[in-house]
Structure 1
Amino acid sequence: MHANRGPRGISRREMLQTLALGGAAAALPGAFAGPAPARRLGVALVGLGGYSRDLLAPALQLTRHCRLAGIVTGSPHKIAEWQGSYGIPDANVYGYDDFHRIADNDDIDVVYVVTPNHLHMPQTLLAANAGKHVWCEKPMAMDAAEGEAMVKACRDNRVQLTIGYRMQHEPNTRRFMAMAEERPFGRIVKLRADAGWFGWRDGADDAWRLDPARGGGAMYDMGVYCVNAARYSTGLEPTAIRAWNETARRDVFGEVDETMRFELEFPGDIVAKCVTSFGRNLNTLQVDCERGWYALSPFQAYEGNAGRASDGTVFPAQLGERPRMQAEQMDQDALAILNGSPPRAPGEEGVRDMRVLDAAFASARADNGKVAIGG
């Protein structure tokens, strides 16, 4: 190891440059510091698949402003294990058929929807009508019209709707969001955002990802990371898209997209070139500007999101090992409710991405023709 470099290979000069860009200020999440809060919000997880089991439930053991209070599941055989692991009382356990009874439970403040995509809208509407705040996993819905209905239902019931864009709580990502406005390397010229993973998990929890009626396919699952990154990295809304379905393994993926390539057009002649896939390991975001570039790779992992800029600035990974990102996300979203302030990723943010996905699917169906993105 070089004498002037730390354990991550970061020199003092590089660290000072990172400090100058504000990365270190974001490296100390407020949710994990300070005195114990007076009240913690009770959260019910809806859907007990892998993401809830492996990340959200463990993360809720680390949060300071919320706690795991209940579960809603369509798989009764999972209930005993969850109750044994987390001490969830019988009164806070629901099935999909009696989900509406959650309205009478004052121990639950927030419902976190973590089910297949086609269930996001109906379950959000049920939770909102029950007077519960809603956190909903991405993508928020099957299309923009469903997303708009979810926003309206939460607004009408005076509850917050927040989309589970965990990356918007990650410090380096938030730094990139600020740089979209500051433009430290001059005008943005183009960007690249690629998100995908190779292989397929053959299990009941993931079978829905092969079903178009339930929101399966790479574009819904991973492409939304690319879309959201292109938007927050430019601070702009795309005006048009061209998309290509490049599915190779039709025997596996059938009617859903294995790989989708797409190009987004933004005001100011900015073009974002993106690829999303279930057949390739992809995890890079790069923004090219007039006088340099900056990039994160990985940019949407559960941990270790880090990068560099063309001037030598480094963006070291900051949040720590999983599930710290999910804990930070839920603590910040809980604070928004407790403080009566807007969440970082409100329902409207999800609707904007759904408009892009709607246009992407339309373009892919129309022989890759350019499709305008509705506002």
Structure 2
Amino acid sequence: MELDHLTEGFDVRDWQDVTETDDPVRFAMIGLGWWTREQAMPAVAAGNLSETTVVVSSDPEKAQSVAESSETVEEAISYQEFHDGAASDAYDAVYVVTPNARHLPFVETAAELGKAILCEKPMEATIDRAQGIVDVCEEHDATLMVAYRMHTEPAVRRAKDLVDAGYIGDPVFAHGNMTEPILELVPDPDQWRLDWDLSGGCATMDIGIYPLNTTRFLLDADPVRVTGSVASVHEEFDDVPDEHSAFQVDFPDNVFALCTASQNAHMASHIRVTGTAGELLVEPAFYPWEDRKLTVSHGGTTMDIEFEQVDQMQEEFEYFSHCILTGTEPYADGEHGLTDIETIKGVYESAESGRWVDLD
């Protein structure tokens, strides 16, 4: 099987039919932390299929300040005003990027208002609340997508094409890692990621989800059981069990994944899939400010695969908006996101009990 044949004509946006529109999808941004201001809103502004028209914050002054810095924002409202239906004629979809444990009420209100919903991962802080998101969206027939950036990342999409084409043979192992010094990136010891009630978990929940979910995407498979170990070593992490985390996820057909995550380690990320006939590696993989690199090995030859570096958030918003404009169901939906929450909670359960946790 020739690699050149498999990599010719790769389309970064093979999902796209609409390239521009006179009626862009209008977003309400719910939660105005640094990620929204520095990543999400610039990504929307750089795209062709959406625009930010409403900003929503617990702090009205902050919302107004963000609105004044944007050319497209028409309304700045508080959380309570959002729940009361204020400015609901000014947006078509919401991007929910509050702390994990506060996703559900905003999704409930958006679904009741008939809005499409892009919800940051992880979906929620508990299985029950994640199930609540699935249920309310089904009840109101609301479009829901969980915001996994890797699903529209060209390096990962090209890697999936190679796996699907059988270039590495039958997958046997996946190895994934994401580590970062969170208190250097966000120098606030009181941040919500270190609060169990708000986050539902630390390293596993916040960044361990990247190797877990990307493995699911590459294999097109769901976990059947999980085991894991977690540890919190430094006092800044006393309120959460997993400053560091390592877990094994078993997939059907005897495919095994090993995932590691840390909120207090050198910044690094990769995803590797080893098969019976070859191997592929994306490294760096998960941080949007690093250029991703895809390396493929087969038959004694190792080569880097060329592809376009993109703004991951722009791709995510363009894909979701394209789905809304074309009436297409987006991937990944709520059931997909719920599976990640169940798996991650299985890691914590296994770490406490010392036993495997069945997921099917």
Q: State TM-score, norm by structure 1.
A: 0.87
Q: Counterparts of 1:228 and 1:127 in 2: how far apart (Å)?
A: 25
- Give the match for residue 45 of structure 1: 29
Distance 1:96 1:207, change over 3 A: same
Instruction: Answer whether contact 1:42 1:69 (CA < 8 A) is retained.
Output: yes
Instruction: Answer whether contact 2:63 2:77 (CA < 8 A) is retained.
Output: no
- Give the match for residue 259 of structure 1: 244
Q: Counterparts of 1:226 and 1:144 in 2: how far apart (Å)?
A: 20
Q: Counterparts of 1:115 and 1:319 in 2: how far apart (Å)?
A: 28
- Give the match for residue 286 of structure 1: 272
Q: From 136, 142, 153, give the equivalent of 2:125.
A: 142
Give the 3-state SS of the residue equivalent to 1:241 in structure 2: strand
Q: Counterparts of 2:151 and 2:86 in 1: how far apart (Å)?
A: 30
- Give the match for residue 162 of structure 1: 145
Distance 1:198 1:20, change over 3 A: farther
How far did 1:94 drift? Answer: 1.7
Instruction: Answer whether contact 2:119 2:146 (CA < 8 A) is retained.
Output: yes
How far did 1:30 drift? Answer: 7.3
Give the 3-state SS of the residue equivalent to 2:10 in structure 1: helix
Instruction: Answer whether contact 2:180 2:263 (CA < 8 A) is retained.
Output: yes
Give the 3-state SS of the residue equivalent to 1:25 in structure 2: coil
Instruction: Answer whether contact 1:177 1:233 (CA < 8 A) is retained.
Output: yes
RMSD over aligned Cα atoms: 2.2
Q: Counterparts of 2:9 and 2:18 in 1: how far apart (Å)?
A: 15
Structure 1: unaligned runs, 5 residues or longer: 1-15
Q: Counterparts of 1:242 and 1:289 in 2: how far apart (Å)?
A: 22
Deviation larger for 176-185 or 136-145: 176-185
Q: Counterparts of 2:342 and 2:24 in 1: how far apart (Å)?
A: 35
Matched, 1:223 2:223: no
**Per-residue CA shift, 1:149-190, capped at 9, x if unaligned?**
212211221220011101101112112233343321211111
Give the 3-state SS of the residue equivalent to 1:162 in structure 2: strand
Q: Counterparts of 1:33 and 1:156 in 2: how far apart (Å)?
A: 29
2:162 maps to a residue whose letter is M
Instruction: Answer whether contact 2:55 2:73 (CA < 8 A) is retained.
Output: no
Q: From 308, 313, 316, give the equivalent of 1:329.
A: 316
Distance 1:317 1:31, change over 3 A: same
Matched, 1:314 2:316: no
Q: Counterparts of 2:98 and 2:188 in 1: how far apart (Å)?
A: 13
Distance 1:32 1:338, change over 3 A: closer
How far did 1:191 drift? Answer: 1.2
2:271 maps to a residue whose letter is L
- Give the match for residue 153 of structure 1: 136
Give the 3-state SS of the residue equivalent to 2:183 in structure 1: coil
Structure 2: unaligned runs, 5 residues or longer: none
**Per-residue CA shift, 1:285-343, capped at 9, x if unaligned?**
111111221110011120411120113342335233xxx22111101101111111111
Q: State TM-score, norm by structure 2.
A: 0.91
Matched, 1:93 2:80: no
Q: From 319, 322, 338, give the equivalent of 2:325.
A: 338
1:181-196 aligned within 5 A: 181-196=164-179
- Give the match for residue 244 of structure 1: 229
Matched, 1:108 2:95: no
- Give the match for residue 8 of structure 1: none
Give the 3-state SS of the residue equivalent to 1:272 in structure 2: strand
Give the 3-state SS of the residue equivalent to 1:310 in structure 2: strand
Q: Counterparts of 1:206 and 1:179 in 2: how far apart (Å)?
A: 43
- Give the match for residue 339 of structure 2: 352
Distance 1:89 1:333, change over 3 A: closer
Q: From 169, 174, 184, give the equivalent of 2:157.
A: 174
The total of aligned residue pairs comes to 351
Distance 1:192 1:30, change over 3 A: closer
Instruction: Answer whether contact 2:77 2:86 (CA < 8 A) is retained.
Output: no
How far did 1:135 drift? Answer: 0.5
